[in-house]
Amino acid sequence: MDSLIYVLTTNGLLFLLSIIFWKFPPKKINNLYGYRTFKAMQNQQIWDFANNNFNKTLLVYAGLSFLGGLVLANFSAKEITWEPMVLVMLSIIVSIIKTERALSDNFTEEGKKNNSTF
């Protein structure tokens, strides 16, 4: 498979999906679409915050992943195989970690807004 096509179908698809999620975030808590973790689904306020945070973070990291994949495809001496998929996985993992950290910083375990100041 051509390296450029491989990057477009992995990293490019993730970037396209991140744009769709960013433009059309889920409005209500559901089991089909959106950032769905136990904590994110506790109430509507957390749901909105989690999806907004995740969508923005994923958009940034998917864009970086896509650009990194294009650079790899253009400057690699040999055909790339697993590298673009690693960039996709890292984008998703980093977005999840950053969103969970933001949820922990802004909400209590009971689902209430954290008002403590540092």
pLDDT value for 115 = 76
Contacts 24+ apart (CB under 8 A), 17-26: 17/62, 18/55, 18/58, 18/59, 18/62, 18/63, 19/59, 21/51, 21/54, 21/55, 21/58, 21/59, 22/55, 22/56, 22/58, 22/59, 25/51, 25/52, 25/55, 26/51
Look up the pTM and report it. Answer: 0.88
pLDDT of residue 116: 63
Domain ranges (residues) in the chain: 3-106
Q: Residues of the chain whose pLDDT is less than 70?
A: 1, 116-118
What pLDDT does 68 receive?
Answer: 94
